[in-house]
Structure formats: structure tokens, C-alpha cells
Structure 1
Amino acid sequence: MPYALVMGASGDIGQAICEKLADQGWSLYCHYNQQEQKVLNFVSDLQERYPQQDFFMVSLDMLEEATVPDFLDQLFQVDGIVFASGFTFYELLPETTSRQMDALWQVHLKTPLLLLQGLQGKLAQSKNGRVVFIGSVYGHRGSSMETIYSAVKGGQEAFAKAYAKEVATLGITVNVIAPGAVQTKMNDTWSDQEIAELEAEIPVGRLAEPAEIAAACSYLFSAEASYTTGIILPVAGGWLE
């Protein structure tokens, strides 16, 4: 039975990915930092629906680098990893603080890289290891007011392309899904007018559903995707592409 670690399982996209992978027969480590009760209820529901699989809650503050070794000690088998944790700051560059820059770098890049360092051996054991970053179209198109976020998302893309070459002979694939605008709770602060203006810019005419991002992840985790590595897969409805 394969086991996947989903970083950011408390978020809308992370939860949708957990749902999809569980339906495909994966046992899961569901990572969270906050919203413990939400994840507990979710994991309990998964265990009821899929009693032959294992579902664990694992907690890590990705800003606290010193706690990474203890976190890794909790994981006994890992055949796939999804990095779905993340956040942004809406600031012009001169207004962005050094602390904000460090936080974006740590959560989107450094901590994921530290986790991969520690888990590469486990990922290689099955010869079918899977690594998927949930990036952003801003990683290759850029966004004003989110210059640092765009930079770290671009860093995920560059890392994935390089790391995919490094671990290809180990049977590990490394890819990035680059969503456009997705209907998540992060958009609750937007006005109806702002949503309408955004939808008007998207060729498909609407925001993506989290399940559509999860479907892309499902493919990249499948056995049929063993020859798909080092790619950036936009799921953006034609927006910014």
C-alpha cells in the first residue's frame, strides 16, 4: 500500500488532493499547522470511508526549521509528497519586510527542500516515488504586488526541473502544478466586483475548483505518469498562458 505525505492538508486544495489520493488507494499523512480540529474531523471521515487504508495527522510549523528532524521521525513509509502549503503577502516591493521575505522563502522552498533531503531514501524504495509542488502561474508569469511570492514560486519550478534530473534514475518523478485563480477560502475577502473582474480575464470564464487541481495531482501520482517528470503543468483555464 503506498503512503503519501500531503503538506497543507488543512487547506482547500490540500484537502481536495487528500480526497482524490485516498480514493485511489493511498494511505495518507495529513499535515497541518493550525486548524487541528478541522483536520481531525477530516481524517476521521477518511478512515470511516476507507477502512483498509491508514490516515495520520502530522503537525509541523514550516517556519520552525529546528523541528523538521522530529517531524521526519514520525514518517515510516513515504512514496509520494505533495507540497500544498503556502500563503502570500499583497505588498509593493519597497513595503515588503525582510521577515516577510524570509517567511515566504522558508515555507515555499527551504522547508520543502529539507523534507526532501530527509525523505529521498524512502521515496526511492518503491522505484515509483512522486513529488508534486502546488505552484502558481505567477511562478512563470509574475504578479505585481506579489513579487516575492512570484519569486519563490518560480524557484519551485526551477528546483523541480533540476531535481527531476537528479533523481530520475531512482524512479522518482518531480513536477509542479501551476494553478491560476482557484475558488478557495483565501478569496473570501474579495468583493463580488473583484471576482467578476477576475473571471472576465480568464478565457474559461470562471475560477478553478480545488478538485480540478487535485485531478492534475492524481494523474502525476499515477503509475501512468512514470515518464512525466520535470514539467510545469498549468491548470489555469487559459489565464496568463
Structure 2
Amino acid sequence: MKTALVTGATGAIGTEICRMLAEQGYFLYIHFHKNDEKAKKLQKDLFHSFHVKSVIIHADLSKEDGPKKLLNKLTKNVDVFIYNCGNTQYGLLTDFTNESIRETMQLHLLSAIEITKTLSKSMIQQKSGKIIMISSVWGEVGAACETVYSAAKGGLNTFVKALAKELAPSGINVNSIAPGVIETPMLDQFSEEEKDELASDIPAGRFGQPQEVAHAAEYLISEKSAYISGHILSVNGSWFT
């Protein structure tokens, strides 16, 4: 039985990715930060629906010691690693504190690098592995009032491209998924009028669904994508091409 680690598993996208992996029979490490009850419910649902076992891990990956706390809970080698942590803060760069900048970079970039550094060691030994970073469209084109988030996601994409070259000789695929606007609770801060206006800006005429990001991840962990590595897969309805 293969093992997968999904960070940010209790979010809308993370939950759908966990369901996809459970359906394929993976043993799961379910990481969360804030929602203990949701993590327990997800674990229960996955067992009842797919009869797979999982372990819940709590760690705040916006803190410097977060990666170590997560890694210390792992007892199995990880075959599939999906880094799906994230939140965003809106505002002018001049309004951000240095602490919030450091935490954003830690959560979206540094923790991903630190965890990957450790997990890749066993992958190299076994000459196989799948690593996927959930990035953002803003990591490709940047967004005003989300400058630090954009910088972190852009760094994550470049990390993927560089690491893919480094790990390819060991049979390990490293890719990124860059979602556009996805229908998640993060959109609740916008009014219906604002959401309609945003959707009209997208050529596909709608927001993406969390399942569609999970479908992209499903392809990237499959053998059908064995020759794809170092790729940033956009899931954005042709919003930015």
C-alpha cells in the first residue's frame, strides 16, 4: 500500500485531493492547522467510504518549527507528497508587517522546501515518488494587493522547475498545479455582485471546482504523466494563458 501526505487537508481542495487518494487505496497522512473537528470528520468519512486508514497531523506551517513538528509524526515513507497549504492576505505592501511577510513566506514556500528536502531522501532511495505543489495563478502573473503571496507562489513554481531537474534521474516527478478562482469558502468575503463580476472576467464563464484541482492532481500522480515533470499545470478556465 502506497502512502500519501496532504497538507492543508481540511480545506476544500485538500479534502477533494484526500478523497481522490483514498479512492485509490492510499494510506493517508492528513495534515491540518486550525480545524481539529473537520480533520476528524474527514478521517472518519474516508474510512467509511473507502476503507482506508489515515493519521491526522497537526502543525502550524507558518511557523519556523512547523515542518519539524509535522515530519516527527511520520512513521512511513511517503510515496506521494502534495503541499496544499495556503491563505491569502489582501492589502498594499506598505501595510504588511515584517512578521506577516515572514509567516506568508514560511507557509507558502519555506515549509514546502523543508518538508520536501526530508521526504525526497526516501524517494531517492526507492527511485520513485510524486511531488505536487498547489500554487496559484498569481504565482505566474502576480497580483496587486497580494504581492507577498504572489512572490511566495512564484518562488514555489521556480522551486518545482529546479527540483524536477535534480530529481528526474531518480525517477521522481515534481510538478505544480496553479489554480485560478476556485469555489471555496475563501470567496465568502466577496458579495454576490463582486463574484458575478469576477466570473464574467473568466473566459470559461465560471469558477473552478475543488474536484477539478483534484482531477489534475490525480493525473500528475498517475503513470500516465510519467514523462511530465517540472510543469506548472494551470487550472483557471483560460483566465490567464
Normalising by the residue count of structure 1, what TM-score does the alignment of the two structures yield?
0.96
| TM superposition shift of 1:65 | 2.3
Check 1:119–1:46 CA distance in 2 against 1; reply closer, same or farther (3 A cut).
Answer: same
- 1:90-146 deviation per Cα after TM superposition (whole angstroms, max 9, x unaligned): 011111221111011000111111111111122234433011011111111111110
| TM superposition shift of 1:229 | 0.3
CA distance in 2, matches of 1:138, 1:112: 17
Tell me whether 1:135 sits opposite 2:135 in the alignment. Answer: yes
CA distance in 2, matches of 1:186, 1:69: 28
| TM superposition shift of 1:67 | 4.6
CA distance in 2, matches of 1:128, 1:207: 34
Give structure 2 stretches of 5+ with no counterpart: none
CA distance in 2, matches of 1:132, 1:208: 19
CA distance in 2, matches of 1:224, 1:234: 18
Report if the CA contact (8 A) 2:77-2:119 is conserved.
no
| TM superposition shift of 1:226 | 1.5
Specify the alignment match of 1:69 in structure 2. 68
Specify the alignment match of 1:4 in structure 2. 4
RMSD: 1.2
Equivalent AA in structure 2 for residue 90 of structure 1: Y
- 1:43-76 deviation per Cα after TM superposition (whole angstroms, max 9, x unaligned): 011112222x321111111123225334213212
Equivalent AA in structure 1 for residue 86 of structure 2: G
Specify the alignment match of 1:101 in structure 2. 101
Check 1:67–1:209 CA distance in 2 against 1; reply closer, same or farther (3 A cut).
Answer: closer
Give structure 1 stretches of 5+ with no counterpart: none
Larger mean Cα displacement after TM superposition, 62-71 or 139-148: 62-71
- 1:22-59 deviation per Cα after TM superposition (whole angstroms, max 9, x unaligned): 112222101001110111011011112222x3211111
Where does 1:27-176 land on structure 2 (aligned, <5 Å)?
27-51=27-51, 53-75=52-74, 76-176=76-176
Specify the alignment match of 1:212 in structure 2. 212
CA distance in 2, matches of 1:203, 1:23: 32
Equivalent AA in structure 1 for residue 70 of structure 2: F
Name the SS of the counterpart of 1:174 in structure 2: strand
Report if the CA contact (8 A) 1:79-1:126 is conserved.
no
Larger mean Cα displacement after TM superposition, 126-135 or 194-203: 126-135
Name the SS of the counterpart of 1:56 in structure 2: strand
Report if the CA contact (8 A) 2:59-2:69 is conserved.
no
- Give the aligned length: 240
Name the SS of the counterpart of 1:177 in structure 2: strand
Report if the CA contact (8 A) 1:7-1:84 is conserved.
yes
Sequence identity percentage:
39
Name the SS of the counterpart of 2:214 in structure 1: helix
| TM superposition shift of 1:223 | 1.7
**4+ residue runs over 2 A deviation:** 63-71, 122-128
Specify the alignment match of 2:227 in structure 1. 227
Report if the CA contact (8 A) 1:134-1:178 is conserved.
yes
Report if the CA contact (8 A) 1:199-1:205 is conserved.
yes
Report if the CA contact (8 A) 1:80-1:221 is conserved.
yes
